[in-house]
Protein backbone atom coordinates (compact mmCIF):
# COMPACT_ATOMS: atom_id res chain seq x y z
CA UNK A 1 0.00 0.00 0.00
CA UNK A 2 1.39 3.39 -0.90
CA UNK A 3 1.31 6.31 1.44
CA UNK A 4 -0.88 9.27 0.58
CA UNK A 5 2.11 11.67 0.40
CA UNK A 6 4.32 9.48 -1.81
CA UNK A 7 6.77 8.57 0.98
CA UNK A 8 8.59 5.23 0.87
CA UNK A 9 7.49 2.47 3.15
CA UNK A 10 9.94 0.81 5.57
CA UNK A 11 10.43 -2.23 3.27
CA UNK A 12 11.45 -0.06 0.34
CA UNK A 13 13.86 2.01 2.49
CA UNK A 14 15.50 -1.20 3.73
CA UNK A 15 15.85 -2.51 0.18
CA UNK A 16 17.43 0.77 -0.94
CA UNK A 17 19.89 0.71 1.98
CA UNK A 18 20.89 -2.89 1.20
CA UNK A 19 21.41 -2.03 -2.47
CA UNK A 20 23.62 0.95 -1.56
CA UNK A 21 25.74 -1.14 0.82
CA UNK A 22 26.13 -3.93 -1.74
CA UNK A 23 27.16 -1.51 -4.50
CA UNK A 24 29.71 0.12 -2.14
CA UNK A 25 31.18 -3.31 -1.33
CA UNK A 26 31.38 -4.23 -5.02
CA UNK A 27 33.04 -0.89 -5.86
CA UNK A 28 35.59 -1.24 -3.02
CA UNK A 29 36.43 -4.78 -4.12
CA UNK A 30 36.93 -3.64 -7.70
CA UNK A 31 39.22 -0.79 -6.60
CA UNK A 32 41.32 -3.13 -4.44
CA UNK A 33 41.62 -5.64 -7.29
CA UNK A 34 42.70 -2.87 -9.69
CA UNK A 35 45.27 -1.51 -7.23
CA UNK A 36 46.73 -4.97 -6.64
CA UNK A 37 46.93 -5.53 -10.39
CA UNK A 38 48.64 -2.21 -11.23
CA UNK A 39 50.58 -1.82 -7.95
CA UNK A 40 51.02 -5.05 -6.04
CA UNK A 41 51.54 -4.52 -2.30
CA UNK A 42 54.98 -6.18 -2.42
CA UNK A 43 58.14 -5.11 -4.24
CA UNK A 44 61.15 -7.20 -5.34
CA UNK A 45 64.43 -6.98 -3.45
CA UNK A 46 66.79 -4.14 -4.19
CA UNK A 47 70.56 -4.13 -4.24
CA UNK A 48 73.26 -1.48 -4.50
CA UNK A 49 74.68 -1.21 -8.00
CA UNK A 50 78.02 -0.05 -9.32
CA UNK A 51 80.70 1.17 -6.92
CA UNK A 52 78.58 0.72 -3.78
CA UNK A 53 77.88 -3.01 -3.70
CA UNK A 54 75.94 -4.01 -0.60
CA UNK A 55 77.21 -7.58 -0.41
CA UNK A 56 75.03 -8.18 2.66
CA UNK A 57 73.75 -11.51 1.38
CA UNK A 58 77.12 -12.65 -0.02
CA UNK A 59 79.30 -15.20 1.79
CA UNK A 60 82.33 -12.90 1.89
CA UNK A 61 82.36 -9.72 3.98
CA UNK A 62 81.15 -6.58 2.28
CA UNK A 63 83.74 -4.07 1.13
CA UNK A 64 83.30 -0.74 2.85
CA UNK A 65 83.30 2.36 0.74
CA UNK A 66 85.52 5.22 1.90
CA UNK A 67 83.61 8.51 1.85
CA UNK A 68 85.74 11.65 2.17
CA UNK A 69 84.75 15.23 2.90
CA UNK A 70 84.86 17.48 -0.15
CA UNK A 71 83.79 14.62 -2.41
CA UNK A 72 80.57 13.51 -4.03
CA UNK A 73 78.44 10.65 -2.66
CA UNK A 74 76.46 8.60 -5.16
CA UNK A 75 74.45 5.46 -4.57
CA UNK A 76 72.17 3.60 -6.96
CA UNK A 77 69.71 0.93 -5.83
CA UNK A 78 68.29 -1.41 -8.47
CA UNK A 79 65.34 -3.81 -8.16
CA UNK A 80 66.04 -7.48 -8.88
CA UNK A 81 63.03 -7.59 -11.19
CA UNK A 82 60.46 -5.27 -12.75
CA UNK A 83 58.63 -2.95 -10.36
CA UNK A 84 55.07 -1.75 -10.96
CA UNK A 85 53.64 1.23 -9.10
CA UNK A 86 54.99 3.82 -6.72
CA UNK A 87 58.32 3.33 -4.96
CA UNK A 88 59.79 5.47 -2.21
CA UNK A 89 62.88 5.40 -0.02
CA UNK A 90 63.80 6.28 3.54
CA UNK A 91 67.44 6.28 4.63
CA UNK A 92 69.17 5.65 7.95
CA UNK A 93 72.74 5.43 9.20
CA UNK A 94 73.63 2.42 11.36
CA UNK A 95 76.53 1.80 13.71
CA UNK A 96 76.08 -1.38 15.77
CA UNK A 97 72.76 -0.75 17.60
CA UNK A 98 72.76 3.01 16.93
CA UNK A 99 70.34 4.17 14.24
CA UNK A 100 70.15 7.73 12.93
CA UNK A 101 67.50 8.98 10.56
CA UNK A 102 69.18 10.32 7.41
CA UNK A 103 67.39 12.50 4.87
CA UNK A 104 69.44 12.66 1.66
CA UNK A 105 67.82 13.82 -1.56
CA UNK A 106 66.87 10.91 -3.79
CA UNK A 107 65.10 10.28 -7.06
CA UNK A 108 63.17 7.28 -8.36
CA UNK A 109 63.25 6.48 -12.07
CA UNK A 110 60.32 5.00 -13.98
CA UNK A 111 62.00 1.57 -13.85
CA UNK A 112 62.18 1.74 -10.03
CA UNK A 113 65.89 2.59 -9.74
CA UNK A 114 66.58 4.78 -6.70
CA UNK A 115 69.47 7.26 -6.83
CA UNK A 116 70.94 9.13 -3.87
CA UNK A 117 73.58 11.73 -4.59
CA UNK A 118 75.05 14.91 -3.23
CA UNK A 119 78.11 16.49 -1.68
CA UNK A 120 79.56 14.45 1.19
CA UNK A 121 79.91 17.53 3.40
CA UNK A 122 76.21 18.35 3.08
CA UNK A 123 74.84 14.80 3.23
CA UNK A 124 76.88 13.75 6.26
CA UNK A 125 76.93 17.07 8.16
CA UNK A 126 76.97 16.41 11.90
CA UNK A 127 77.68 12.69 11.49
CA UNK A 128 80.77 11.53 13.46
CA UNK A 129 83.60 10.12 11.38
CA UNK A 130 84.22 6.37 11.39
CA UNK A 131 82.50 3.21 10.22
CA UNK A 132 78.78 3.33 9.39
CA UNK A 133 76.28 1.48 7.29
CA UNK A 134 74.04 3.39 4.92
CA UNK A 135 70.71 1.57 5.28
CA UNK A 136 68.02 2.49 2.75
CA UNK A 137 64.50 1.13 3.06
CA UNK A 138 63.00 0.92 -0.44
CA UNK A 139 59.40 0.01 -1.16
CA UNK A 140 55.83 1.20 -1.15
CA UNK A 141 55.75 4.72 0.30
CA UNK A 142 52.83 3.97 2.63
CA UNK A 143 54.65 1.12 4.42
CA UNK A 144 58.21 2.46 4.68
CA UNK A 145 59.59 2.28 8.23
CA UNK A 146 59.79 5.38 10.38
CA UNK A 147 61.09 3.82 13.57
CA UNK A 148 64.75 2.91 14.14
CA UNK A 149 63.49 -0.27 15.80
CA UNK A 150 61.99 -1.36 12.46
CA UNK A 151 65.41 -0.97 10.83
CA UNK A 152 67.18 -2.93 13.56
CA UNK A 153 64.55 -5.68 13.35
CA UNK A 154 64.85 -6.00 9.56
CA UNK A 155 68.65 -5.64 9.56
CA UNK A 156 69.29 -9.38 9.58
CA UNK A 157 66.01 -10.63 8.14
CA UNK A 158 64.78 -9.43 4.74
CA UNK A 159 62.04 -11.60 3.20
CA UNK A 160 62.08 -12.21 -0.54
CA UNK A 161 58.82 -10.34 -1.12
CA UNK A 162 57.73 -7.57 1.20
CA UNK A 163 56.29 -4.08 1.13
CA UNK A 164 59.83 -2.74 1.65
CA UNK A 165 63.41 -4.01 1.64
CA UNK A 166 66.51 -2.83 3.43
CA UNK A 167 69.69 -2.28 1.42
CA UNK A 168 72.82 -1.89 3.54
CA UNK A 169 76.14 -0.52 2.36
CA UNK A 170 79.13 -0.25 4.71
CA UNK A 171 81.02 3.06 4.54
CA UNK A 172 83.85 4.73 6.39
CA UNK A 173 83.49 8.49 6.80
CA UNK A 174 86.79 10.36 6.67
CA UNK A 175 87.72 14.04 6.76
**Domain of 102: which CATH number?**
2.60.40.10
Q: Is 146 exposed, middle or buried (0-12, 13-18, 19+ CB in 10 A)?
A: exposed
Q: Locate the DSSP E strands across 26-79.
A: 46-49, 65-68, 72-79
pLDDT digits (tens, 9 = 90+) for 70-125: 989 999 999 998 888 889 999 999 998 889 999 999 999 989 999 999 999 999 99
Separation between Cα atoms, residue 155 and residue 53, nearest integer Å:
16
Domains held by the chain: number: 2
Q: Determine the pLDDT at residue 39.
A: 53
Q: Which of 5-9, 59-63, 142-146 has the highest mean pLDDT?
A: 142-146
Q: Are residues 73 and 95 in the same domain?
A: yes
Structural domain boundaries enclosing 135: 46-174
Q: Is 118 exposed, middle or buried (0-12, 13-18, 19+ CB in 10 A)?
A: middle
What percent of the chain has a predicted confidence (pLDDT) above 70?
76
Coil, strand or helix: which one is 117?
A: strand
Amino acid sequence: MSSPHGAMGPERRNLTAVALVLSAVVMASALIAMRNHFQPPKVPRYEAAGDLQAGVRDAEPAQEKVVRGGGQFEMELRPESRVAGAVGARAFLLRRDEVRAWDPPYSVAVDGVVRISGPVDALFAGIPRGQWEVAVAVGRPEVLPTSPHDILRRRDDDPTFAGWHLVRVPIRLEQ
